[in-house]
Amino acid sequence: MHVEDVNGAPAECWSPEDVFNAFERNEIVLIDVRTPQEFAFEHIEGVLLAPLATFSPANLPTQDGKRIVFHCGSGMRSRKVLEACAAAGMTPLAHLDGGFAAWKTAGLPYIATDPATGGIRRVARAA
């Protein structure tokens, strides 16, 4: 993990492995800020959806006991969410560095739509 400045507030950039491990230990709330269509096509199992287009920091759960970590496809939209949260005075701030693309590149598990059947297909963690 490394820390970047987002409008004067420190923002943690978590690696896919850091997010995976913390999520498995139930230490974080992971929020996907992609579109509902992107989410329906493929997403990390158990994440919450809060699309950037309708995002409001005021509607987030409290951070009592759990860190909120945002993610999108590449890290660009989640950074915009961090900027909105920083402007609203929220801390701490964190997002998945490289987004869902980095998650998939790291070989971590996710849920996808099976194009042949339209059903759910679980993509297991790469060995």
Taking only the tens place, the pLDDT of each residue in 64-86 is: 778 899 999 999 999 999 999 99
Residues in the chain, total:
127
Give the pLDDT mean for 92-107: 95
The pLDDT value given to residue 127:
73
A 10 A CB-CB count for 52 gives: 17
The model's pTM is: 0.89
Helix, strand and coil percent figures for the chain, each rounded to 5? 30, 30, 40
**Domains in the chain, please, with CATH?**
2-123 (3.40.250.10)
pLDDT at 91: 83
Query: Do 118 and 104 contact (CB within 8 A), yes or no?
Result: no
pLDDT given at position 103: 97
Residues 88, 99: Cα–Cα separation, whole Å: 23
pLDDT value at residue 90: 85
Looking at residue 12, its pLDDT comes to 93
